[in-house]
Structure 1
Amino acid sequence: MTISLPQGFRTHIANVGIKDSTDDFTLVIADTTCAAAGVFTQSRFAGPSVLVSREHIANLSARAVVVISKNANVATGAEGMSNAREVVAGVATALACDPTDVLIASTGVIGRQYPMTQVRSGLNSIPEQFT
């Protein structure tokens, strides 16, 4: 698969086994922190990814967006929020940036926790050249 990105952006796409053999973990990375804005659902039942990204976008900057597919991590309570924050922190550590400069998005099955063993595999698969 070829992905065309603007100069200064890179991507890492992987299958970490969340559901099947198709890609389910994507990271879009800016070479430097850049201006950012976001539009989010107004649902009172927004999931942890939306809540965390709303918090982080308040600083009007971002360095990366991590996207997890096949699991929405919605209706997952405090554990789901903790998992979303762990993902953001893992990306921030890999990129040596502030966690508030990492946004997160999820799509997929509602009511199931992230399979954190697989998600951690995705975090560990971030190539060193992105740091």
Structure 2
Amino acid sequence: MQYYKQPSESESYYNPCSSVEALETVARLVSSSPVVIFSVSSCCMCHAVKRLFCGMGVNPSVYELDQDPCMGKQIEKALIRLLGGASAMPVVFVGGKLVGPMDRVMASHITGNLVPLLKAAGALWL
């Protein structure tokens, strides 16, 4: 898994705690990897989803929201807006598209729709 850290203060594009910056950060991270998981490090559901993808041979990019005290909250708010007001972690993107929180990821996996998504995104080759 690839983990992201908070940009340094020397990076001029970084404006801490901005909701616009949060949406831009989400868009940038989602476009940078076939599978992106927004997670909270102490969340058991987040851990389960990360293990699911790793167990399938997928190397997701993981953004731990609680590791970034300022921007993490703004990103979480942006994700809640994308989910239509539902507050649930983790939030998973595959191929730049929102899959959703754990219940949608697991439903996609159980119905057999997750593997084709992963293959189309280039995250799974089997």
TM (norm. structure 2) is 0.33
Query: Quick check: which one's strand share is greater?
Result: 1
Query: Quick check: which one's helix share is greater?
Result: 2
